[in-house]
């Protein structure tokens, strides 16, 4: 009995030992698994946090940050008017093409494109994929659709950056702004003459022109071009004291957004490129030339003026036989006498009169902001050329140069440089005086009388409160060494005459009589139906008066300078 008891104890001990050993192995295996699980959990957690961080950064990227970088060579600076309105603007855009050889899954691509562009003709797109190596899917794609396309990650989708030059005002400034070609090069107007500046400047090119004035003037010119059936028309509005141009219109005009290849000469810029014999608008220059030489006074009398005189084989006649034979120098200009103007010019002499016309900018080349400026012919002023030039025949110049001439004889005799570019700092430069003291004031008084007296030829321009002064000019157009019946009708005006601020010129090319147009007298009852003559006093004067009536309030509130 005593031998059996220890055996039992030993067995119990062994069983107990074996149990504990087994329990220990289980704990070790569990700890290892926990450690491995924890290790991978930490790694997963780190990567998850990192991905969330990257995801949050990506969501803050704007569409502009993933757009292609545009080539600076394609950029052109904007052009704005004096008030900041856009006349020409550079806009970035993207065209989307498909390179069919790089399509991996055709069906998947078509499905994705159909979602983005549900209104497209996908039968046509399928055909293009099968038949073409490359085709344009979408021109000027929106930013939203561009982002969707890029997220597809399909290498066959090829974006190509484009820079568009748009002209928000369409035809309104076409002859000023000009055009660019398909390679982004300026080919006319300011786009051409300021091509390098527009390519390299980050700042907008600010002009002196005013969109509101341009709109009103153009609207009236178009209206009266229809009434008088003129071949074309033009106008310029310029500050006489600093040369800032507020408006230039030339009709017909064009829409530069269409980038047309215009070859019709009727579309030239008539203000800068067209040269014309302007007729009697030159007579105030003849008067000013003689005053400047101290050869006459406004009341100097010219007695027994003939109705016609001969010059070589040609005869010079009065346009109106009712003009008296005895006139003062002032009356010659007011009544637009041809023979009297010849006599005044003869007192001055050929060389001095030609020198005067060149000095005030009429017969010498002008340096202007637009390259399209007609070259000036150098005339030989002999006896007959002096005679015809005295009343504006036989010599041709541009409307731009005519405007400069009128600015000089009305602003006190100071030189100015016509400009389209806003140059505020240069306006304070010391001015050069071209004509003697007092000459300008005497000329301006006579210009006012041409408009507000019964004898004057520009009564239809006598707009109340604007003190308009000016001179009419009706000239036959040269043709094959002679003259045709087609006329150039011009009215050159300055206002207000008590404090000259603006020169405004209206020119009509080959106007006709308007049988149904009603002329309403401004300062008395009644009027007149039908144009009696197709001369400047009945056409361009009426147009100028109507325009000044409309633009006057804008000028008075925005630009009037008080001396």
Query: Taking all residues of the chain, what is their mean pLDDT, rounded to a whole number?
Result: 87
Fold agreement between 72-206 and 213-558 = no
Nearest to 281 by CA among 489, 441, 90: 489
Return phi, psi of residue 8, to 5°.
-65, -40
pLDDT given for residue 41 in this prediction: 65
pLDDT given for residue 526 in this prediction: 66
Going by the DSSP 8-state scheme, the letter that residue 276 receives in this structure is B
Residue 139, sorted as left (phi over 0), alpha (psi -120 to 50) or beta, turns out to be beta
Where do the H-state alpha helices sit in 360-410?
A: 383-390, 399-410
Q: What is the mean pLDDT of residues 510-525?
A: 82
Query: Quick one: 379 exposed, middle or buried, by C-beta within 10 A (0-12, 13-18, 19+)?
Result: middle
**Strand 205-206 to strand 79-80: parallel, antiparallel, or no bridges (unpaired)?**
parallel
Query: Quick one: 411 exposed, middle or buried, by C-beta within 10 A (0-12, 13-18, 19+)?
Result: buried
% of residues, the chain, pLDDT over 90: 70
Give the tens place of pLDDT for each residue, 376-430: 999 999 999 999 999 999 999 999 999 999 999 999 999 999 999 998 655 567 8
Nearest to 398 by CA among 328, 321, 488, 486: 488
Give the C-alpha distances (Å, rounded to integers) separating 120 from 86, 98, 110: 33, 15, 11
**Cα 91 to chain centroid, rounded:** 18
Give the tens place of pLDDT for each residue, 177-213: 999 987 889 999 999 999 999 999 989 999 999 999 9
* Of 240-249, 315-324, 363-372, the least confident: 315-324
Residue 507 in 3-state DSSP? strand
pLDDT given for residue 296 in this prediction: 97
Enumerate the domain spans of the chain: 72-206, 213-558
| Dihedral angle over CA of 273, 275, 278, 282, nearest 10 | 90
For the entire predicted model, the pTM comes to 0.81
Give the tens place of pLDDT for each residue, 75-125: 899 999 999 999 999 988 899 999 999 999 999 999 999 999 999 999 999
Nearest to 135 by CA among 108, 165, 99: 99
User: Do 552 and 501 contact (CB within 8 A), yes or no?
Assistant: no
> Nearest-5° angle of CA 464, CA 465, CA 469?
80
pLDDT given for residue 258 in this prediction: 87
Does the pLDDT at position 552 exceed 50?
yes
Q: 10 Å Cβ neighbour count for 301?
A: 11
Query: Quick one: 27 exposed, middle or buried, by C-beta within 10 A (0-12, 13-18, 19+)?
Result: exposed
User: Do 347 and 396 contact (CB within 8 A), yes or no?
Assistant: no
Dist. CA 327–CA 38, nearest whole Å:
118
Report residue 35's pLDDT band, with 50, 70 and 90 as the boundaries: low
pLDDT given for residue 521 in this prediction: 67
More confident residue, 6 or 462: 462
Residue 301 in 3-state DSSP? strand
Nearest to 467 by CA among 552, 562, 525, 557: 552
Dist. CA 331–CA 345, nearest whole Å:
15
Q: What is the mean pLDDT of residues 517-536?
A: 78
Packing angle, helices 211-228 and 540-558, rounded to 10: 170
**Strand 314-317 to strand 327-328: parallel, antiparallel, or no bridges (unpaired)?**
unpaired
Residue 546 in 3-state DSSP? helix
- Name the CATH code of domain 72-206 (choices 3.40.50.300, 1.10.3210.10, 3.40.50.720, 3.90.1310.10): 3.90.1310.10
Nearest to 139 by CA among 117, 172, 112: 117
Dist. CA 489–CA 537, nearest whole Å:
8
Residue with tokens 């009027």: 527
pLDDT given for residue 338 in this prediction: 96
* Of 57-61, 303-307, 380-384, the least confident: 57-61
**Cα 521 to chain centroid, rounded:** 35
User: Do 245 and 173 contact (CB within 8 A), yes or no?
Assistant: no
CATH superfamily, region 213-558: DD-peptidase/beta-lactamase superfamily (3.40.710.10)
Report residue 39's pLDDT band, with 50, 70 and 90 as the boundaries: low
Dist. CA 371–CA 150, nearest whole Å:
45
More confident residue, 1 or 73: 73
> Nearest-5° angle of CA 544, CA 168, CA 244?
45
B/e letters for 143-171, b = 16+ CB within 10 Å, e = fewer, are eeebebbeeeebebbebeeebebebebeb
Residue with tokens 């060579």: 73
């Amino acid at each position: 009995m005593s031998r059996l008891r220890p055996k039992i104890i030993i067995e119990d001990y062994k069983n107990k030992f074996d149990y504990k050993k087994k329990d220990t192995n289980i704990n070790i295996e569990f700890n290892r698994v926990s450690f491995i699980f924890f290790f991978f959990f930490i790694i997963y957690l780190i990567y998850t946090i990192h991905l969330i961080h990257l995801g949050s950064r990506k969501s803050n990227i704007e569409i502009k940050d993933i757009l292609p970088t545009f080539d600076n060579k394609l950029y052109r600076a904007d052009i704005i008017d004096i008030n900041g309105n856009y006349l020409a603007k550079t806009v970035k855009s993207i065209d989307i093409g498909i390179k069919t050889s790089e399509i991996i899954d055709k069906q998947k691509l078509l499905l994705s494109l159909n979602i983005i562009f549900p209104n497209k003709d996908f039968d046509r797109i399928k055909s293009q994929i099968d038949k073409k190596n490359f085709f344009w899917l979408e021109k000027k794609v929106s930013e939203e659709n561009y982002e969707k396309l890029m997220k597809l990650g399909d290498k066959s989708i090829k974006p190509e950056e484009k820079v568009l030059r748009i002209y928000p005002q369409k035809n309104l400034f076409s002859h000023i702004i000009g055009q660019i070609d398909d390679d982004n090069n300026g080919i006319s107007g300011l786009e051409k003459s300021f091509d390098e500046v527009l390519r390299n400047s980050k700042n907008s090119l600010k002009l002196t022109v005013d969109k509101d004035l341009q709109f009103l003037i153009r609207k009236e010119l178009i209206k009266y071009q229809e009434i008088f059936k003129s071949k074309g028309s033009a106008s310029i509005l310029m500050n006489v004291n600093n040369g800032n141009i507020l408006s230039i219109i030339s009709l017909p005009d064009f829409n530069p957004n269409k980038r047309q290849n215009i070859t019709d000469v009727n579309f030239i810029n008539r203000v800068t490129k067209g040269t014309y014999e302007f007729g009697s608008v030159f007579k105030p220059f003849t008067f000013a030339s003689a005053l400047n030489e101290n050869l006459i006074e406004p009341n100097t009398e010219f007695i027994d003026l003939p109705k016609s005189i001969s010059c070589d084989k040609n005869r010079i006649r009065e346009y109106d036989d009712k003009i008296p034979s005895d006139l003062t120098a002032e009356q010659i200009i007011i009544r637009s006498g041809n023979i009297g103007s010849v006599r005044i010019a003869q007192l001055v002499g050929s060389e001095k009169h030609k020198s005067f016309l060149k000095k005030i900018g009429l017969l010498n080349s002008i340096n202007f902001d637009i390259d399209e400026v007609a070259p000036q012919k150098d005339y030989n002023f002999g006896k007959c050329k002096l005679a015809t030039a005295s009343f504006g025949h036989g010599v041709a110049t541009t409307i731009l140069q005519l405007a400069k001439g009128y600015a000089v004889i009305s602003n006190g005799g100071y030189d100015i440089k016509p400009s389209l570019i806003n140059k505020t700092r240069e306006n304070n430069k010391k001015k050069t005086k071209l004509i003697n003291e007092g000459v300008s004031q005497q000329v301006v008084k006579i210009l006012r009388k041409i408009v507000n007296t019964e004898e004057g030829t520009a009564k239809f321009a006598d707009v109340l409160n604007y003190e308009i002064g000016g001179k009419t000019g009706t000239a036959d157009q040269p043709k094959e060494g002679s003259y045709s019946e087609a006329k150039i009708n011009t009215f050159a005006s300055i206002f207000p005459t008590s404090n000259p601020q603006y020169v405004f010129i209206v020119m009509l090319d080959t106007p006709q009589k308007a049988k149904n147009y009603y002329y309403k007298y401004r300062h008395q009852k009644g009027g007149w139906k039908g144009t009696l003559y197709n001369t400047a006093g009945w056409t361009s004067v009426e147009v100028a008066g109507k325009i000044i009536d409309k633009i006057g309030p804008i000028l008075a509130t925005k630009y009037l300078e008080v001396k």
